[in-house]
Structure 1
Amino acid sequence: MLYRLLFGRVYDFFDEGNPAKYSVFMLLMFAFSFGSCFLGLKHLRNILPKDQGREFAVNGALSQGKARGCGLIFITTFCLSAALFIPLDMEYIIYLVMLYGAMLTGYLDDAAKVPWGNLKKGLLDLVISLGTAVNYWYFNDSYIDLPLLHLHFHVPAVIFIILAGVLVWTSINVTNCTDGVDGLCASLVMAVLFCMVLFSGVLTMTVGRTFLDLAPVIMLATLAAYLWFNCSPSTMLMGDAGSRALGVLLAILFLMSKNPISFVPMCIVIILNGGLSLLKVSFIRFLKMKNFMKDIRTPLHDHARKNKGWSDTQVVMRFTIIQLVIDIMYLAATNYDRLTSLG
């Protein structure tokens, strides 16, 4: 295995359960992920297409000329880091393929002279969503946990695959719609991943070395490097290449947690910010309800900027704070028994 050949000694440190050696492994993984992404973004940005500005977006003209589609670089470095530091099996490899596929479809759309139509993008989303759902079901099971209610129950395979596919599709699209303010999408995703890491036991060495354990840490390092260039005023944009892949990753992690319903509270700001936009467009287009949500500008980050007068920095900070508070409260409630036992 490539991982053992390149990082066998660190792998052995991790296996031995020595806290100091475990720290070396985590430090090396984080440093490699951050460093490779930072250098890639710094030196390869010239290969990316330039943004043409977004006519109907708030402050959309300010994006004109910036490197667009940076997801090509930071998702590539994420997948490389995951392949090096996470012992991969076929399930994890397929996850990376699906994630990379979502990135490529977004990048090709970003780079196209004529944007892809909704039908084409919808069919690609369907393939990625069902592929991810089937992959999880095949290698695991169709049981779901509801920690707050202390429930653990089985869902018939067909229903589970459909619902899991809906989760992936929803995550792709709401995350994609959230990418509209410098630093917003990356900051919100980092807030979710940080809370996952904080409550998972990764930092206290009480878990293993699975995709669920280590992928959030690698993506945190990767997004930290990207935010160096994307914080307001940004010099580069992730584009659909980044936001779509981040949506796939979030869905995968919530499926692997066996508590996919927690996607709702833990990504509630992302869901409301991007989901209301999808809802509004659907009601107007398909149900001909032209006055539906007429007083609310969507995505919500545009409502906050245009209608409420928030600056870009205020939008990013306030949305992220709200998400962090909700995530910590939710995870504290669902982990109450474990936390009290530690006390």
Structure 2
Amino acid sequence: MISEIAELLTPVWGPMRLLNSSFLLAAMGALVAAMSAMVLLPLLWKYLPTDQGRAHAVGSAASVGKPMSAGIIMIAIIIVCAIIFVPADVRIYGSLLLLAAASALGYIDDKSGGLSELTLGACDFLLACAAALLIFGFEPARAWLPFTAEIFEVPAWLHIPVAVVVIWFSINALNCSDGVDGLSGTLALISIAVLGLLFYIAVGNIEMARYLLLPFDGNGYKWAILSSIACGCLAGYLWYNVPPSSVMMGDAGSRPIGLLIGILVMVSGNPFLIIVCAGLILANGATGLFKVAMLRFFKLRLFSDIRFPLHDHVRKNYQWSNSQVLARFAMVHMAITLALVSMLLKVR
């Protein structure tokens, strides 16, 4: 919205052209989203449902009675800021609708005390399918992969199922990581920030894309602005969510934020970025999904000595405090992500 207004007013007043700067739009969007979250959350969380505790989760009693589902407010902030600061784009607007749907589903799950796993899994599958079709349609997609400089033309029958799997696991992995004050928000902020930087300085930059042998996306800067807005909102939320938390995003936040990470990964053209940029999120949350699936469908007991999600394992077995879990997981996640991104871009 702002960039379109700036184009109209620039002939009248030259300095308005600054509002066409993607860097300035990203910075302004992040700041407005952060301040909006910091102001609106304490004003509105009294209207949110409260946490009733989760069975088998370590330390869940400490969260009982706290307002949850703050994600419904966070996603609303992200959507409004994206409409204001991100130049018009059909795929981004469609993604915002999917984020709203995922947040509404999470809110219903939070308020009802928990929908069935089958219902949630099926809804997540539909969201992942819709996101995959929104990103690619039924056209071939260009993809870049680790350890090769070649850019591949991937047919729709292959890249759509891959996108569905990546996005589905991203939704559920972040949701499973939401069990320690500040953890899921911090891990998601790091992942989205790195993905946003990749869009801004690599995939969406024609000179760097050519240098790094990546497929250039002329709309990459728009996804970078959206990423910046999401990071700003997460930062504002974390102001109240670090140990001891005052409010929790709940499924209304973790599901749509996980969906956003999956969408960003697939738009980048490299599905392996889900491992590179969200590896610890997958290890913490998605491995538990894999363990349960192996037991239920194949009667195989794997990782029987490890409690999932991993944050519960270290709290139970190593007596880590919530603050220790948050700090150590964040440091490991950041170190691994930066190292793997560097390798991914240069070793090709």
Q: TM-score by structure 1 length? A: 0.88
Structure 2 counterpart of 1:314, from 306, 309, 324: 324
Structure 1 counterpart of 2:155, which letter? P
Deviations 1:106-143 (A, max 9, x none): 11110115x21122212211210000001111287422
Q: Distance in 2 between matches of 1:192 and 1:230?
A: 18
Provide, for residues 169-215 of structure 1, a one-character-per-residue CA deviation record: whole Å limited to 9, x for no partner: 11111111011100000111111123234454469x96877432211
1:13 lines up with 2:18 in the alignment: yes
Name the structure 2 match of 1:64.
Answer: 64
Q: Closer, same or farther in 2 for the Cα pair 1:82/1:141, shift >3 Å?
A: farther
Question: Per-residue deviation at 1:26?
Answer: 4.0
Greater shift, 68-77 or 1-10, is seen at 1-10
In structure 2, the partner of 1:324 is 334
Question: What does residue 341 of structure 1 align with?
Answer: none
Supply the distance in 2 between the matched residues of 1:312 and 1:140 (Cα, whole angstroms): 46
Shift of 1:89: 2.2
Distance in 1 separating the partners of 2:196 and 2:124 = 28
Is 1:106 the counterpart of 2:106? The answer is: yes
Correspondence for 2:297 among 286, 300, 305: 286
Match of 2:129 in 1: 130
User: How big is the shift at 1:330?
Assistant: 1.8
Alignment match, 1:118: 117
Q: Distance in 1 between matches of 2:34 and 2:241?
A: 15
1:252 maps onto 2:263 in alignment? yes
Identity among equivalent pairs (%)? 33
The range that moved more, 26-35 or 248-257, is 26-35
Measure the CA separation in 1 of the matches of 2:120 and 2:23: 42
- Map of 1:183 onto structure 2: 182
- TM-score normalized by structure 2? 0.87
**Could you say if the C-alpha distance between residues 2 and 182 of structure 1 is closer, same or farther in structure 2, counting changes exceeding 3 Å?**
same
State the distance in 2 between where 1:201 and 1:128 align: 26
Q: Give 1:12's aligned amino acid.
A: R
**Map of 1:261 onto structure 2:** 272
Contact 1:110 1:240 in 2 (8 A): yes
SS in 2 for 1:267: helix
Q: Which amino acid aligns with 1:293?
A: F
RMSD value over aligned CA atoms?
A: 2.5
**Would you say how many aligned residue pairs link Structure 1 and Structure 2?**
330
Q: In the alignment, is the contact (CA less than 8 A) between 1:55 and 1:61 conserved in 2?
A: no
The answer to whether the aligner puts 1:241 opposite 2:256 as a matched pair is no
Comparing 32-41 with 206-215, greater Cα deviation is found at: 206-215
Q: Distance in 1 between matches of 2:144 and 2:27?
A: 32
Q: Which residue does 1:4 correspond to in 2?
A: 4
Amino acid at match of 1:257: S
Q: Is the 8 A contact 1:202 1:213 kept in 2?
A: no
Which runs of structure 2 are paired with 1:118-267 in the superposition (5 Å)?
A: 118-138=117-137, 141-201=140-200, 210-267=221-278
Q: Provide the rounded CA distance (Å) in 2 between the counterparts of 1:298 and 1:92.
A: 34
